[in-house]
Structure formats: structure tokens, C-alpha cells
Amino acid sequence: MTSKETKRKPSDERQNEVFGDYSLVLHNDDVHSFDFVIEALIDICDHDYEQAVQCTLITHHKGSCDIRKGKFETLKQMKDALTERELNSTIDQQP
């Protein structure tokens, strides 16, 4: 074990969680308001307000948007929380 491995910072752990092999993708619907989706992205995906607005607009105009990258287990919890709010999302594996 190298000294770098023994002195891992919490931010290193967060980076490993954020940069995984999967993407959580939000899909557009004609049911929910912008405010509802923005609030869900802030609450569930830990987006800040500006990021949530941008993802919501991209989803609206393009039909879908990658809203988070990470490990499958982490994204599955977020997907389930989005589903509880009746938002349509998928987890896609990165090439």
C-alpha cells in the first residue's frame, strides 16, 4: 500500500462514487412541471439549483438528459427515488 492510499481524502471517495461506469438518465414526460422536476433533482441527485434547471431544460428539449454518473448501486437508489415521484429514468452503462 502506498502512502497515497493510506491518506485518502473524503473528496477522493466522492470522486470515485461520482465517476462510475453508469449514467442515470432522466426522460421527458408531459405530466410534471419544471418546478417539480427541479425540486426532485435537487433533493434526490444533490444538484444545485442551476444544474437542476439546466438538466430539466435539456430533458424537455432533447427528450432525455444524463443527470448523474456513478456506480450502479448509488444510481439505483436515486432511480428508485425518482420513480417514487413518478419521474421516468433509466440507468445506462457507459461504453
Q: What is the CATH number of the domain that holds 63?
A: 3.30.1390.10
4 located within any domain: no
Domain residues for the domain of 64 are 20-93
25 located within any domain: yes
8 located within any domain: no
65 located within any domain: yes
3 located within any domain: no
State the pLDDT at residue 94: 85
Q: How many CB atoms lie within 10 A of CB 59?
A: 24
Q: What is the mean pLDDT of residues 1-25?
A: 54
Report the number of distinct structural domains present in the chain. Answer: 1
Q: What mean pLDDT is reported for the chain?
A: 86
If you compute the radius of gyration of the chain from its CA atoms, what whole number of angstroms results?
Answer: 15
* Planar angle of CA 35, 86, 95, nearest 5 degrees: 95
Task: Identify the residue whose cell numbers are 477522493.
Answer: 12
Q: What is the mean pLDDT of residues 88-92?
A: 98
60 located within any domain: yes
73 located within any domain: yes
Model confidence at 9: pLDDT above 60: no
| Residue 73 identity | E
7 located within any domain: no
Model confidence at 3: pLDDT above 50: no
Convert the pLDDT of each residue in 37-79 to its tens digit.
999 999 999 999 999 999 999 999 999 999 999 999 999 999 9
Q: What is the mean pLDDT of residues 1-27?
A: 57
